Chain A
Amino acid sequence: MLSRVANAIYWTSRYLERAENVSRMVYVNLHYSLENLSENTGDWFSIIKASGDEDFFLKKYKIHSQENIIKFLITDKKNQNSIFSCVTAARENARTIRDIISSKMWEDINQMYWIVQDFVKKRSALHRPEDFLIRIQECYLAFLGAAESTMNHDEAWHFSRLGRMVERGDKTGRILDVNYFILSSNQKKEESEPAYQALMSKSLLKSASAFEMYRQKYSDITPEKVAHFLSESPVFPRSIYYCTHQITVSINAICTFNNHPSSEQLQEKSDRLLRMVQNKLEKKFSPQMLHQFIDEFQSRLNELDSGIFEIFFSTKIPPDLFQNGSFQKQTSGPCSA
């Protein structure tokens, strides 16, 4: 398949997954902020931290109110990781591959785009964005269903899944890293209360869409168990381990489809990533170790992402131009908004 098309389908997937993650995190936070124990905006700020856009936010907004944070995450056109920017970029990419994805997939993306457009036009909408956030998530789930059932599970499909899994693994890592740090540091007195911890842990689980599935495995909720579940569950489709495993599956499938001469390098890279995740997970980890683990996971994931670009998407540009120095910044693809 065309390199440009592979690149566009990979990034369409990543942007959509990113948009859905932001909408879920904002939704869960809104839900819990209705009955929060403390009145500070610490929880809200953790979403910004998790997105890696802390500096940009601080530069742009003087007041760190819930309102500003929500605006930054949903409609801010300057924030390239806002829902607005991600959905717009996903659609721009999808437009260039309308002939590859199925009509149903395109229509779902298109619908999501028009929902965002309508939302941006309504001035008062930001006060209660819940319905909007739910619609974004529903559209995305419809898109995933369409991708599963209406498209050939061929090379293009694997590029799409690869993009989704890279993005998802990265996001779970970020959510876990930021929240686990807050949870386990017990800076304030009320935050060491078990009730508060349980509420926060629940919120963390729900941010990763993991609460119900976690409950099937564990009866009690502790920060350690939550961390274990989100990082090493072999069956939960958003855990770091699960995503990494699917990444290797898709990379192997792509390499089988296209027989690219240098595809072995990439297979090695993804195998190494999987081994690293497996090895680390076998040990019981402390909060510091968790942070180190996620740090390493993300930098290797970025390396892999550059490798994918270098081998499949570009044949001319030297790869070192595209190395992503800081793992905290999120990468972006063609047609970014």
Chain B
Amino acid sequence: MNLNNYLSDRNYDELFMANGSPRPCSSNLIKKIKEYTSRQLQNKQKIADRIFFREGVTFNVYGDKKGSEKIFPFDLIPRVLEYQEWNLLKNGLIQRMKALNCFLQDIYSSKHILNHKIVPEDLILKADSFRKICEGLEPANGIWINICGSDIIRDQNGHFLVLEDNLRCPSGVSYVIENRNIMKRVFPEIFSSANVLPVEDYADHLRQILLESSFRKCSDSRVVLLTPGPYNSAYFEHAFLAQKMGIELVEPGDLFADKDCLKIRTTSGFERVDVVYRRIDDDFIDPLVFRKDSLLGVPGIFELFKKKKVSLVNSPGTGIADDKAVYPYVPDMIKFYLKEEPILHNVKTYKCTDPRDREFVLENMAALVVKAVNLSGGYGILIGNKATQDELHSFRKAIQKNPREYIAQPIIQLSTAPTLRGKNIEPRHIDLRPFALSARSNYVTPGGLTRVALKEGSLIVNSSQGGGSKDTWILAH
């Protein structure tokens, strides 16, 4: 495979330096890849795709009834990070998660951060994602976010930045483990002498923090994973994690909120449940307190959580902390609660609620990314330099009407990584979603999910928008 013409324009490339030679972390890998012909690599890619299908590592496409199963495209060429770089990232993520947990504990009780005017009171208390009903909640260990999946990008200078936090039901970790598995099956020779840190023990750590979240201090707490069911797009992941942890995968109909404990219906009658790792959004989890029309929920489950009879992981109410309009304040939260300087920085963000910022956004929209604050999955995003006049116009109107609902950021050229496209290897933009866990102790899975925008030049990596993923290597030092 000839990589001499691999060009990464003026972007930061993860595996190659600006002068075209491999980075120290990737020189070994690049040397090995060069030993293969393009056809050999394409064959390996085909085998990998076939395994994904056979194992049923597929996701459902909404609104597409026939042939509604797709595999999440997987790219054969791994993304590599040095240990030192990773360590910085890891510490930054743990710090951030701690601060976000303090923030949630604070705004749902004494509200110091609002009283000190570090974060505007209206921004929080008037937000839809602020759940008044969660005031006074005391989740186990004081931890609201047990599982965090923040999205990390690298800018043109090679600096890591946090693009957004996912604190409700972050998904994708099953692909981290499966990608590695399949890499090891179809491309074992490429691992030799690379010293890649394993990712497989994520499920053990997850199980541990779930057990630590039980209110009942005993060794036999029963933990279940609550899924909306097999038609949910992340169902594969739900089943995968339940199986790896050896806990039961339950649907809402299996659960029943009794007077003072949550029960599941078994072949021997009803049995008690202590911890629910729920993969159903707040809105749908309990029709008695959240959306009344939810058919997915378990009536009464929230009340039991409030009475500390059952743990919900992550806690309801975390949505306010990953609200994109609250995101600009996370560095201030780190300073306020932890008295530390943030290790990881945010992307520069213009708040449309601020009159000066708003004016700037309206005038420079073509050079900015505008995001609706409560949408995810690559939806509700306008990339200024690629938008039509009509799109710019409609976003402009929407911002003027509802400034709280929008933020804007400069267009960041995400870093690129070599990606197999047909018979060539070409640069494609990528990001990284590491998974951090927290209960009595903290853990970050080495690496995370590297998502790649497969379309040339595209900056949107979401699977719903034509994104794929790569194996992510952290090299042991």
**What are the interface flags for A96-113 relative to B under an 8 Å C-beta threshold, 1 for contact and 0 otherwise?**
111110010011001100
A322 interfacial by beta-carbon distance below 8 Å: no
Contact B243 A99 (CB under 8 A): yes
A49 interfacial by beta-carbon distance below 8 Å: no
Residue of B236, B243, B265, B267 contacting most chain A CB atoms (<10 Å):
B267
Chain B nearest CB from A310 CB (Å) reads 12
**What are the interface flags for B263-301 relative to A under an 8 Å C-beta threshold, 1 for contact and 0 otherwise?**
011111100000000000000000000000000000000
Distance A95 CA – B240 CA, assembled complex (angstroms): 11
* Partner pick for A2 among B54, B230, B248, CB 8 A cutoff: B248
Chain B nearest CB from A229 CB (Å) reads 36
Contact A2 B229 (CB under 8 A): no
B35 interfacial by beta-carbon distance below 8 Å: no
Contact B254 A110 (CB under 8 A): no
B167 interfacial by beta-carbon distance below 8 Å: no
Chain B nearest CB from A261 CB (Å) reads 7
A63 interfacial by beta-carbon distance below 8 Å: no
- Could you tell me how many residues of chain A have their Cβ less than 8 Å away from some Cβ of chain B? 27
Contact A111 B230 (CB under 8 A): no
Residues of chain A within 8 A (CB-CB) of B240 are 98-99
Chain A nearest CB from B253 CB (Å) reads 7
**What are the interface flags for B36-58 relative to A under an 8 Å C-beta threshold, 1 for contact and 0 otherwise?**
00000000000000000111100
Residues of chain B within 8 A (CB-CB) of A76 are none
Residues of chain A within 8 A (CB-CB) of B248 are 2, 5, 99
Chain A nearest CB from B206 CB (Å) reads 14
Distance A139 CA – B253 CA, assembled complex (angstroms): 32
Answer whether A259 and B268 are a contact pair too, CB < 8 Å, given A99-B239, A107-B55: yes
Residues of chain B within 8 A (CB-CB) of A224 are none
Residues of chain B within 8 A (CB-CB) of A110 are 54-56
A56 interfacial by beta-carbon distance below 8 Å: no
Residues of chain A within 8 A (CB-CB) of B254 are 2-4
By beta carbon, the residue of chain B nearest A121 is: B67
By beta carbon, the residue of chain A nearest B55 is: A107
* Partner pick for B266 among A1, A96, A111, A254, CB 8 A cutoff: A1
B235 interfacial by beta-carbon distance below 8 Å: yes
Distance A95 CA – B269 CA, assembled complex (angstroms): 24
A265 interfacial by beta-carbon distance below 8 Å: no
B89 interfacial by beta-carbon distance below 8 Å: no
Chain B nearest CB from A316 CB (Å) reads 9
A288 interfacial by beta-carbon distance below 8 Å: no
B75 interfacial by beta-carbon distance below 8 Å: no
Distance A4 CA – B251 CA, assembled complex (angstroms): 9
Distance A92 CA – B271 CA, assembled complex (angstroms): 26
Chain B nearest CB from A73 CB (Å) reads 23
Residues of chain B within 8 A (CB-CB) of A3 are 254, 265-267
A292 interfacial by beta-carbon distance below 8 Å: no
Contact A95 B230 (CB under 8 A): yes
Chain B nearest CB from A136 CB (Å) reads 16
A315 interfacial by beta-carbon distance below 8 Å: yes
Residues of chain A within 8 A (CB-CB) of B268 are 258-260
Residues of chain B within 8 A (CB-CB) of A261 are 269
Distance A98 CA – B243 CA, assembled complex (angstroms): 7
Distance A225 CA – B269 CA, assembled complex (angstroms): 46
Contact A254 B242 (CB under 8 A): no
Contact A4 B56 (CB under 8 A): no
Distance A260 CA – B269 CA, assembled complex (angstroms): 7
Answer whether A260 and B230 are a contact pair too, CB < 8 Å, given A99-B239, A107-B54: no
Distance A227 CA – B243 CA, assembled complex (angstroms): 45
Residues of chain B within 8 A (CB-CB) of A312 are 267
Contact A92 B230 (CB under 8 A): yes
Chain A nearest CB from B428 CB (Å) reads 29
By beta carbon, the residue of chain A nearest B270 is: A315
Residues of chain A within 8 A (CB-CB) of B236 are 98
Distance A106 CA – B268 CA, assembled complex (angstroms): 26
Distance A1 CA – B224 CA, assembled complex (angstroms): 12
Residues of chain A within 8 A (CB-CB) of B53 are 114
A231-273 residues with Cβ-Cβ distance < 8 A to B are 254, 258-261
Which residues from chain B sit less than 8 Å from chain A, CB to CB?
53-56, 229-230, 235-236, 239-240, 242-243, 248-251, 253-254, 264-269
Listed A/B pairs (11) with beta-carbon separation below 8 Å: A1-B266, A4-B251, A4-B253, A95-B56, A98-B249, A103-B243, A107-B56, A110-B55, A110-B56, A254-B267, A260-B267
Which residues from chain A sit less than 8 Å from chain B, CB to CB?
1-6, 92, 95-100, 103, 106-107, 110-111, 114, 155, 254, 258-261, 312, 315
Known: A3-B265, A95-B230, A99-B243. 12 other contacts (CB 8 A): A2-B264, A2-B265, A4-B254, A92-B230, A96-B251, A98-B240, A98-B249, A110-B56, A111-B54, A114-B53, A258-B268, A260-B267
